[in-house]
Structure 1
């Protein structure tokens, strides 16, 4: 079971690194990839991206280094909350096809949180 959780952690971390990197450091590419980005303040989008990057690090390092491993499920729970808020944003904007990605990210983060708590 531990190996399965590590695989999910790795997949989730990669997904959040990709999304966070675009939002934080490749804003123009994020604007062309996601319609909602152009309607939000740039600083908010960059902040969300940085939060996702920090969260991705939190999914891996505490558990891998066995230094305060309780931070891994906390990071996963926080990332799930961020993505849930994103799904709510998509619902209010009637971007229903975008919600599937949010659901996938929430499931990955929730599996890590449950598996590591």
Structure 2
């Protein structure tokens, strides 16, 4: 199960890092035009902050365990990303963006699995 948790954490880190960097570097208007309609409900700074949270969460999923420095940060990062995805699901449901709920739900569940595994039976 330890290997499975590493694989899930790696995939989550790649997804959240890519999404976070994109939100930090792209102008809000370009994000909206590319299908992220939810960004219209947020200010530029808020979209950049969401991107920063996702990027830092991605780093927190891998780096602490890899360097063996404060590995308790791994399940905390996973928990933070799960909470972020709960917020994303709420926004998508309110905006009736039903097609965006499923990917957010999958990321939520995978983040919750990593948090459970690393807080619980397969902690570092």
Q: TM-score range by the shorter chain?
A: over 0.9
Uncovered stretches (5+) of structure 2, i.e. residues with no partner: 120-124
CA distance in 2, matches of 1:11, 1:18: 11
Divergent runs of 4+, >6 A? none
Work out the number of aligned pairs and report it: 117
Residue pair 1:60, 1:72 contacting (<8 A) in 2 also: yes
1:9-40: CA deviations, max 9, x gaps?
Answer: 00000110111111111234422231111231
What residue in structure 2 maps to residue 82 of structure 1?
84
CA distance in 1, matches of 2:90, 2:40: 17
2:111 to 90, 109, 112: 109
Please provide the CA RMSD for this pair.
1.1
Residue pair 1:86, 1:102 contacting (<8 A) in 2 also: yes
TM-score by length of 2: 0.89
Residue 47 (structure 1) aligned with residue 41 (structure 2) = no
Between Structure 1 and Structure 2, which shows a larger proportion of helix residues? 1
